[in-house]
Chain A
Amino acid sequence: MATSHQASGIEAGRLSASEIADNFGDLHPQYEAHEAAVAADRCYFCYDAPCMTACPTSIDIPQFIREIQAGHPESAAKTILEQNILGGMCARVCPTETLCEEACVREAAEGKPVEIGRLQRYATDTLMEKGVHPFGRAEATGKKVAIVGAGPAGLSAAHRLAMLGHDVVVYDAKSKAGGLNEFGIAAYKSTNDFAAKEVDWLLQIGGITMEYGKKLGAELSLDALKADYDAVFLSIGLAGVNALRADGEDKDGVRDAVDFIAELRQADDLTNLAVGRNVVVIGGGMTAVDAAVQSKLLGSENVTIAYRRGRDAMGASRFEQDLAATKGVKLMFNVQPVAIHGNGACAEIELEYTRSEGGTLTGTGETVRIAADQVYKAIGQTLEGQPGALALEGRKIKVDENGRTSVEGVWAGGDCASGGEDLTVTAVAEGRDAAMDIHASLMG
């Protein structure tokens, strides 16, 4: 018997298996061939296309769309993948509304951009479903490169280096590759185990050895890597999570949103995942939205995102905010947590209203209490486990425009490195560009 929607506390099975399956279906379903042709025909083939400039990996968008229009999505895929080897995942997870599609001239003209993301997915899916890997390796250079962190930045660098003829070993602390593609991205953006399939497909290039369960700072040290390899690329993401600094943070039911999402992403059967009747998510970014929406999709009755600033300051795009709202998530702005109440387990959260004056946020003193069986912390991830020898910039590893760190022979990219937004596509771009610079410096 399924647990009722209204069952109090934290319970599994609030929804039936079929409701769960519906809820976690593809956010933007794949195009049929005809739909793709019609969508592609909307592209004007702009000169010096603004969409392309807006893409962090600079995919030649008008070119690939034209290839779809002319009936050869396979070469469209190649155009995409040459610039962005994780073009399949990016097609699913990029906030296109703030990237390419925001820049599309048809967005300016009529508020309806060319659906670049879905077209990109159509092309890459077509190629990958055929099992084709369109790239080969250059003649072996005899050089060895170590990569730490098998997320998008590390995978992108690994593929590019392998393609250029280097031998690559990728280390990751976890037992699976993919980084947040595998453990973080919302389930309805990457269905059917796509992240793992994409990694398998990427590795078809050859020359890449995966080493799991190897953590920098434990099994691995930067000095040893530097000694054993010709170059080192660090792409360890942001493994830490910011603390709330509210009373009662240690109560049962208070948890990091990324842990909840990772558990969700790895669950074999979502009906077994226990969620609270009342859920409050603290934060304003993509992680907050994903934790809230997925709680709702798992059957939580009341889900609230509590964000300390106003809507415009929110890290999540308007599209993401609207997605949350349409799924029934309540968005509260200008509130910050002051205490979590409950006898051992959390039952309520106390929020204080805030006001922003000249950029600084102050509490107004007025508070409100709302029921919360679960409180998810989604107030940002932090760098953790980076080698002490590396200079930092802000709270990230300092790199130049080629991804070089302060230590000779060590490059870094992705979320752990300075510069760029924390997005999958940015990580891919940084991994690729660092690989090109590593190549230049090894061969130069």
Chain B
Amino acid sequence: MADLTADFLGIKSPNPFWLASAPPTDKEYNVRRAFEAGWGGVVWKTLGSEGPPVVNVNGPRYGAIWGADRRLLGLNNIELITDRPLEVNLEEITRVKKDYPDRAIIVSIMVPCEEQAWKDILPRVEATGADGIELNFGCPHGMAERGMGSAVGQVPEYIQMVTEWCKKYYSKPVIVKLTPNITDIRHPARAAKAGGADAVSLINTINSIVSVDLDAMAPEPTIGDKGTHGGYCGPAVKPIALNMVAEIARCPQTHGLPISAIGGVTTWRDAAEFMTMGAGNVQVCTAAMTYGFNVVKEMISGLNQWMDDKGYKTLDDFVGKAVPNVTDWQYLNLNYVAKAKISQDDCIKCGRCFAACEDTSHQAIAMSEDRVFTVKDDECVACNLCVNVCPVEGCITMEQVPAGQIDERTGKVVSDEYANWTTHPNNPSATAAE
């Protein structure tokens, strides 16, 4: 049995699966049940300042997109931060932490961008005994209109400034939660680091309109006759989150900054992928909101199984392992040549590869009278589209053309030397090595 214990910023948890700050962590009742189900930690639903709490809409706050059989693929929400009084949340956090000393409890905070506001709340949070704080600089709707959430997260200077205040008035780890609603995630990450953040977490939700009600002529979810943009999350956002995590992990200025990865984690595999991309742990929201707290059980067993299969004893054995293999396009080896290959035994003759390649790619698949599909090596550019559209997994494979053989498309012998765009003769700014 692999050891799934996670140590993130010195905060221990029995496994790397934390619930993200969101409805699943909005109250004591939920969090206790989450811990009983096996979650390693929680980031408490974001707290606001003392005084009358925010109010939520009283109509639908979620919208979604679905795959076949209504599998939920993407969720969109217009919920705000906690709408329960600060004192109630703080009391509950204190109680739960006392009862679950082995689990991680992080308190998410979003208060106005004024030093006094942070100075007021941080000692009270510290008094709960929680393990750390997460600064919600991500919420893209509602709170942003009030100058908080992503309105802060989009300005690196503010991130740095607020992070500095937090380090000043709070003694435990400070995690800065980033918004993906920016053009280059490395800038806010650098700012967080410059402000002294112990870690970044990402992503928060992505600005979105999930669908339009074609009768009401309004975006969904619709409140009366109007709708607004919300935050998108769930399986659909994972690729975006994964790239942002990788960008921070491989950027020389932020490399090594601990990352708590969030965005579409649904099974063990998503978690493993994020962690190989440099995340020390993962946070989950939509999967729990879709299936309930018990989803963590599959994440635990799946990660265990995989680690045992691969011989990884601890999380550290694989965290960050894929980071060195993320590079810029310009450094990809242009002498690597592959060809698609169709396994006739597996092919069910649907013709999708043919339609895709013929209509939209390189006319590199031949279709015979009796529906036998074969790749024309002299046309195939190895784009992989046929592999992606083939309904039979493993039926089309990409086979590397070994060095020394002729690439029938170019008529050239495949070289075993590494050569990339920076030195390519077609590149006007090539730094040719001649």
Q: Is the pairing of A and B real?
A: yes
Chain B residues with Cβ below 8 Å from A26 are none
Instruction: Tell whether B117 is near chain A: CB-to-CB under 8 Å.
Output: no
Nearest residue in A to B67 (C-beta to C-beta)? A41
Residues of B335-364 whose CB lies within 8 A of A: 348-352, 354-355
Q: CB-CB < 8 A to A50: which residues of B?
A: 349, 371
Digitize B110-140: 1 where CB-to-A-CB distance is under 8 Å, 0 elsewhere: 0000000000000000000000000000000
Taking each of B350, B352, B391, which has the highest tally of chain A beta carbons within 10 Å of its own beta carbon?
A: B350
Is B350 within 8 A of A41, CB to CB?
no
Complex Cα–Cα for A106 and B371 (A): 15
Main secondary structure of the interface of A (DSSP, over half): helix
Complex contact A108–B349 (CB within 8 A): yes
B69: interface (CB < 8 Å): yes
Q: In the complex, are the beta carbons of B69 and A105 less than 8 A apart?
A: no
CA distance A105 to B373 in the complex (A): 14
Query: Is the Cβ of B69 less than 8 Å from the Cβ of A41?
Result: yes
The answer to whether A47 touches B351 (Cβ under 8 A) is yes
A34 CA to B68 CA, complexed, in Å? 9
Contacts of A106 in B (CB 8 A): 348
Cα A383 to Cα B371 in complex, Å, equals 39
Residues of A close to B355: CB separation below 8 A: 47
With beta carbons under 8 angstroms apart, the residue of A34, A37, A46 that contacts B351 is A46
Given the interface pairs A50-B371, A109-B392, the reply to whether A41 lies near B68 with Cβ below 8 Å is yes
A47 to B70, CA, bound (A): 26
Interface residues on B, range: 10 to 19
Size of chain A's interface in residues, with CB distance under 8 A?
Answer: 15
Find out whether the CB atom of A44 lies under 8 angstroms from the CB atom of B349: no
CB distance from A56 to the nearest CB of B (A): 20
Query: Is A223 an interface residue when CB atoms closer than 8 A count as contact?
Result: no
Residues of B within 8 A of A47 (CB): 350-352, 354-355, 367
Q: Is A21's beta carbon under 8 Å from chain B?
A: no
Contact indicator A48/B351 (Cβ below 8 Å): yes
Distance to closest chain A CB from B369 (angstroms): 11
Chain B, residues 390-434, CB within 8 Å of chain A (1/0): the string is: 011000000000000000000000000000000000000000000
**Residues B348 and A38 in contact, CB atoms below 8 Å apart:** no
Give the shortest distance, in Å, between A388 (CB) and chain B (any CB): 44
Residues of B within 8 A of A34 (CB): 70
A319 within 8 A of B: no
| The 5 nearest A-B residue pairs measured at CB | A47-B351, A41-B68, A109-B348, A47-B355, A105-B348
Minimal beta-carbon separation of A324 from chain B (angstroms): 31
Chain B CB within 8 A of A45 CB: yes
**Alpha-carbon distance A49/B392, docked complex (angstroms):** 17
Which residue of chain A has the shortest Cβ distance to B346 in the bound complex?
Answer: A109
* Nearest chain A CB to B16 CB, angstrom units: 34
The contact string, 1 if C-beta is below 8 Å from chain B, for chain A 20-54, is 00000000000000100110010011111110000
Q: List the A residue with the shortest CB-CB distance to B356.
A: A47
Cβ B391 vs Cβ A44 within 8 A:
yes
A interface residues (Cβ-Cβ under 8 A, vs B):
34, 37-38, 41, 44-50, 105-106, 108-109
- On chain A, the residues within 8 Å of B391 by CB distance are 44
Q: Which residue of B lies closest to A108 (CB)?
A: B348
A38 & B352 in contact (Cβ 8 Å cutoff): no
Q: CA–CA, A105 to B352, complex, Å?
A: 11
Chain B residues positioned under 8 Å from A38 (CB to CB): 68-69
A48 to B351: give the CA distance in the assembly, Å. 7
Q: How far is the CA of A45 from the CA of B352 in the complex (A)?
A: 8
Bound-state CA distance A102–B371 (Å) is 16
A37 touches B352 (CB 8 A): no
Q: Which of A46, A47, A49, A105 has its CB near the most chain B CB atoms (within 10 A)?
A: A47
Q: Hey, which chain A residues are within 8 Å of B367, CB to CB? A: 47-48
**A46 and B352 within 8 A (CB):** yes
Residues of A within 8 A of B70 (CB): 34
Shortest C-beta distance, A52 to chain B (Å), equals 12
Q: Please measure, in the bound complex, the distance between the C-alpha atom of A44 and the C-alpha atom of B352, giving whole angstroms.
A: 8
5 inter-chain pairs at a CB distance below 8 angstroms, sorted by A residue, are: A37-B68, A38-B68, A48-B367, A105-B348, A105-B350
- Chain B minimum-CB-distance residue to A48: B351
C-alpha gap A259/B33 in the complex (Å): 69
B350 touches A46 (CB 8 A): yes
Residues of A within 8 Å of B352, CB to CB, are 44-47
Besides A48-B351, A108-B349, 16 other CB < 8 A contacts?
A37-B68, A41-B69, A44-B350, A44-B391, A46-B350, A46-B352, A47-B351, A47-B354, A47-B355, A47-B367, A48-B371, A50-B371, A105-B348, A106-B348, A109-B348, A109-B392
Q: Which residues of B contact A41 (CB under 8 A)?
A: 68-69
> Closest A-chain residue to B392, C-beta based?
A109
The distance from the CB of B353 to the nearest CB of chain A, in whole angstroms, is 9
Q: What residue in chain B is nearest A41 (Cβ atoms)?
A: B68
Residues of B within 8 A of A44 (CB): 350, 352, 391
B100 to chain A, nearest CB (A): 41
Closest Cβ–Cβ distance, residue A70 to chain B (whole Å): 12
CB proximity of B58 to chain A, nearest CB, Å: 29
> Please, which residues of chain A bring their CB within 8 A of the CB of B354?
47
**Least Cβ–Cβ distance between B361 and chain A, in angstroms:** 14
- Complex Cα spacing A69 to B129, Å: 53
Give the docked Cα–Cα distance between A26 and B285 (Å). 45
Q: Mark B44-70, 1 if CB is under 8 A from A, else 0.
A: 000000000000000000000000111
Encoded as 1 (CB less than 8 Å from any A CB) or 0, chain B from 379 to 398 comes to 00000000000011000000
CB contacts (< 8 Å) of A109 on chain B: these are 348, 392
Chain A contacts of B69 at CB under 8 A?
A: 37-38, 41
Contacts of B348 in A (CB 8 A): 105-106, 108-109
Question: A11 → chain B, closest Cβ, in Å?
Answer: 49
Collect the chain B residues with CB atoms within 8 Å of residue A37's CB. 68-69
**Cα distance, A34 to B349, chains bound together (Å):** 28
- Binary CB contact string for chain B from 309 to 353 against chain A (1 if under 8 A, 0 otherwise): 000000000000000000000000000000000000000111110
- Distance in angstroms from A123 CB to nearest chain B CB is 18
Residues of B contacting A48 in the complex (Cβ-Cβ under 8 angstroms)? 351, 367, 371
Q: CA–CA, A55 to B349, complex, Å?
A: 18
Q: Across the interface, name the chain A residue whose C-beta is closest to B358.
A: A47
Q: A47-B354, A47-B355, A50-B371 are contacts. A105–B68 as well, Cβ < 8 Å?
A: no
